[in-house]
């Protein structure tokens, strides 16, 4: 609970660090599957504050047609909450240090696909400027992932919880046991008490008269 309360608040430092990470992944995706359009990504945007570190400003422009489009990505809604929930669950799990570190880094790396799904979805054909050039099958998979994993609000908690559960189950299923349940299953067996039928009364001998 303490770790969750520490990670979830919108700390500006966390917002800038997470925004830089998402921007780096988005630029890598544009370099690999780009259509030739230019994309500029930077922190800030929205109606309330021009320098909100939790909003990522995306500006895309097609150099051949001159068309451009801009939008803002809410980093907390798109992927940070899922990363914070997953990190809090992993750090609170009684695992060995090496396994905990591996699960933490591997899970966080996979969860960074969540904030990329909205960008890949909208900039691959929905908006006037296409930044990413994917085939029909890849676009269908991106749309499916976006509408299942990102669009529903509750998935920001369900996805990291499921990822944590599967990861801990693979690494060490015993770590999922509750303390009382684990103590009950590992308690030494008590010696069996003899029943009344097993107890034999001592034989009494009479003295000869």
Residue 190 lies in a domain: no
Residue 181 lies in a domain: no
Residue 158 lies in a domain: yes
Residue pair 174/94 in contact by the 8 Å Cβ criterion:
no
pLDDT higher at 180 or 5:
5
Residue with tokens 């051949």: 64
Average pLDDT, the chain: 81
Q: Is the pLDDT of residue 103 over 90?
A: yes
What are residue 73's DSSP bridge partners? 56
Residue 56: φ, ψ to 5°: -100, 120
Closest CA to 130 of 29, 34, 27, 28: 34
How many structural domains are present in the chain? 1
pLDDT at 203: 54
Residues of the domain holding 160: 8-173
| pTM summary value | 0.73
- Per residue, the 3-state secondary structure of 24-38, as one string, reads HHHHHHHHHHECCCE
Residue 209 lies in a domain: no
The pLDDT tens digits of the residues spanning 39-64 come to 888 765 544 445 688 888 888 888 88
């Amino acid at each position: 609970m303490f770790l969750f309360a520490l990670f979830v608040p919108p700390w500006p430092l966390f917002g800038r660090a997470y925004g830089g990470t998402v921007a780096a992944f988005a630029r890598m995706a544009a370099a690999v599957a780009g259509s030739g359009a230019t994309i500029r990504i930077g922190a800030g945007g929205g109606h309330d504050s021009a320098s909100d570190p939790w909003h990522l400003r995306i500006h895309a422009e097609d150099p051949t047609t001159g068309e451009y489009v801009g939008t803002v990505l809410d980093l907390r809604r798109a992927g940070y909450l899922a990363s914070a929930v997953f990190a809090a669950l992993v750090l609170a799990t009684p695992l060995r240090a090496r396994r905990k570190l591996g699960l933490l880094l591997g899970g966080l790396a996979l969860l960074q696909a969540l904030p990329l799904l909205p960008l890949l979805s909208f900039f691959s054909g929905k908006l006037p400027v296409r930044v990413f050039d994917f085939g029909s099958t890849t676009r269908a998979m991106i749309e499916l992932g976006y509408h299942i994993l990102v669009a529903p609000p509750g998935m920001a908690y369900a996805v990291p919880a499921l990822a944590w559960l599967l990861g801990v189950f693979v690494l060490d299923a015993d770590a999922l046991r509750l303390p009382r349940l684990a103590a009950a299953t590992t308690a030494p067996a008590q010696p069996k008490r003899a029943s009344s039928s097993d107890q034999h009364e001592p034989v009494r001998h009479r003295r000869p008269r």
